[in-house]
Structure 1
Amino acid sequence: MTPTAPFDAEKAEAAAWFRTLRDRIVEAFEALEDSHAQGPFSDMAPGRFEVSETRRASDDGSDAGGGLMSVMRGGRVFEKVGVNVSEVFGTLAPRAQAAMAARKGIPGMAEDPRFWASGISLVAHMQNPHVPAVHMNTRMFWTPHAWWFGGGSDLNPCIEYDEDTAHFHATQQAHLDPHGAGHYPRLKAWADEYFFIPHRGRARGVGGIFMDDHCTGDWAADFALTRDIGQAFLPAYLPLVERRRTQPFDDADKDAQLVHRGLYAEYNLVYDRGTKFGLETGHDANAVLMSLPPLAKWI
């Protein structure tokens, strides 16, 4: 990896993009709430995001960054959805240093454990069980020794529809192919591996795209790829919500949704790297655990 200190302009550009993407998604999701005028839950008031600032705790009380947590609960379309952005910095604790050095093979972490990270994280749990849950996040990470990007998006239906899965994947491929034909199959395979639940022997959904530790040495090219992963999200997902949100459902459908949410919660609490990193580095616990569903069940 190439030493990158101070990298201030690139950090600022990435953080600004994640905030821009957050604003676009919040606006689009509130528009869905407003337009849901028929079908299940249409008699409810349209949902709105509650926005609060989050702060990262530092050992000495100094500024360590933070972000915005935006959560909508009990809407017409969204039962619970969170769209968080953050920009945090400081020094990695010994446990996180060791994990980073082992995972990335970065020399010098013990001598200079400074870090900076920014990103967007989204999880949506839907009212209608025919509408798939979804996850998306993209992020940039920097140390004085290296920088890289990560993230992706994946679809998590409790009731699967082949045409929905096909649209979600095709839209992502259309956004990735301009960066090179090899990106989509590689990131799709990575998502299939990453979003797998070993103790259940199954994937948590129908996949998507995912990458981590992405650094070719060309920051502008890597950032452009990361932007397009984010820009693929709304056109990949919104048509599925439009298609399914008025569809009737019964108690068996709702029960299937709650069981699938239990699977989702298991993955996020046991395996998800972002959850572990956020808690280990002192970020706001409510923001880190925003991804958990409002209701779930286990058989």
Structure 2
Amino acid sequence: MTDAMDTEKARAAAWFRTLRDEIVSAFEGLEDSFEGKGEAGRFEVTPTKRAAEDGSDAGGGLMSVMRSGRVFEKVGVNVSEVFGTLGEAAQKAMAARGMPGVAEDPRFWASGISLVAHMQNPHVPAVHMNTRMFWTPSAWWFGGGSDLNPCIEYDEDTAHFHGQQKAHLDPHGAELYPRLKAWADEYFYIPHRGRARGVGGVFMDDRNTGDWEADFALTQDIGRAFLPAYLPLVEKRRGQAWGEAEKEVQLVHRGLYAEYNLVYDRGTKFGLATGHDANAVLMSLPPMAKWV
């Protein structure tokens, strides 16, 4: 039987792939236009697979990772489209978040894009972005957002990043940006450190207003905000002088990032719990970090 939302799922998956292609092209362009040391970085693209418990095909995606570029020390831009049956732990987690009917029919489908960039120059902020759609026979929802993670903070960079988020969200309702900004501040908080992971951004989850087209349009605009919010910051800071002291600050800050993603991040937990490619799930971890 064909699911009534097959068309919508296909549109969402295609959009995430299109956004991935645009970002990969833009990031390789940053490498080409910067006269730094070594060769301009390029993404290595690897197909990923998710296997069901019985070994059957359960979807997959593309893991695109660039390492040791002129501008990017490590950046991953992954897309996935997976499906199968939620395990008991995932069913309980979904039920706790108000997702109806998962125990009675635990089938699921999910697609999304996930991006994390760690930079060579400590003055250039690290960044994270993801958008996704999740479906079960009884419900669907969108989620995602983006947030800036500088180890050396510049107020004007933070203002620009947030300004682009607001500009892209305001057409969907003036109340939306303040709400999703506050949600990001809450979500990207590290309780055991008593501090935020970075300088925030926007975040939403379980978005289902009953109007799929409107929620999809919002999700697309969260994705569209990313490049105009981030590229100017990279272009401005990538040639700024730095030394060992700044690198030390960067490595320690990356330790915070790793702690959050391994301990609290919902996407990391879901990806590992549902059997997706571990390298793709853990792509977000920095190449080097330090703890004091």
Shorter-chain TM-score category?
over 0.9
Gaps spanning 5+ residues in structure 2: where? none
Identity among equivalent positions (%) equals 81
Whether the aligned pair in 1 keeps the contact of 2:99 and 2:139 (CA below 8 Å) is no
| Secondary structure of the structure 2 residue equivalent to 1:104 | coil
1:218 Cα deviation from its structure 2 partner: 0.2
Structure 1 segment 273-284 matched on structure 2, within 5 A: 273-284=266-277
Q: 1:36 aligns with which of 34, 42, 59?
A: 34
CA RMSD of aligned residues (A): 0.9
Equivalent in the alignment of 1:212: 205
Q: Which residue of 1 aligns with 2:24?
A: 26
Task: State which of 46, 55, 74 in structure 1 corresponds to 2:49.
Answer: 55
* Residues 191, 207 of structure 1: 8 Å contact kept: yes
What are the residue-to-residue correspondences of 1:137-286 with 2, within 5 Å?
Answer: 137-286=130-279
Q: 1:128 aligns with which of 95, 117, 121?
A: 121
Question: What residue in structure 1 maps to residue 282 of structure 2?
Answer: 289
Q: 2:85 maps to what in 1? A: 91
**TM-score, with normalisation over the residues of structure 1?**
0.96
Which position in structure 1 is the counterpart of 2:10? 12
**Pairwise CA distance, 1:128:** 0.1
Instruction: Give the counterpart of 1:104 among 98, 107, 114.
Output: 98
1:105 Cα shift? 4.1
Shift of the alpha carbon at 1:62?
A: 1.4
Deviation of 1:95 after TM superposition, in Å, equals 1.1
Amino acid at match of 1:291: S
Instruction: Tell me the secondary structure at the aligned position of residue 97 of structure 2.
Output: helix
Secondary structure in 2 matching 1:9: helix
1:5, 1:143 within 8 Å by CA — same for their partners in 2? no
Letter in 1 for 2:20: R
Tell me the equivalent position of 2:58.
64
Aligned residue for 1:139, secondary structure, equals: strand
* Partner Cα separation in structure 1 for residue 67 and residue 226 of structure 2: 21
Question: What displacement does 1:168 show?
Answer: 0.1
Greater relative CO, 1 or 2 (CA 8 Å, sep 6+): 1
Q: 1:57·1:284 contact (CA, 8 Å) conserved in 2? A: no
Q: In 2, distance between residues paired with 1:105 and 1:89?
A: 17
Return 5+ residue gaps in structure 1 as ranges. none
Say whether the 8 Å CA contact 1:70–1:82 is kept in structure 2.
yes
**Once the two structures are superposed, what CA deviation does each residue of 1:245-277 show, in whole Å capped at 9, x if it has no partner?**
000001110000000000000000000000000
Residue 222 of structure 2 aligns with an amino acid whose one-letter code is I
Q: Deviations over 1:3-27 (max 9, x none)?
A: x953100000000000000000000
Q: 1:109: how far off?
A: 1.5
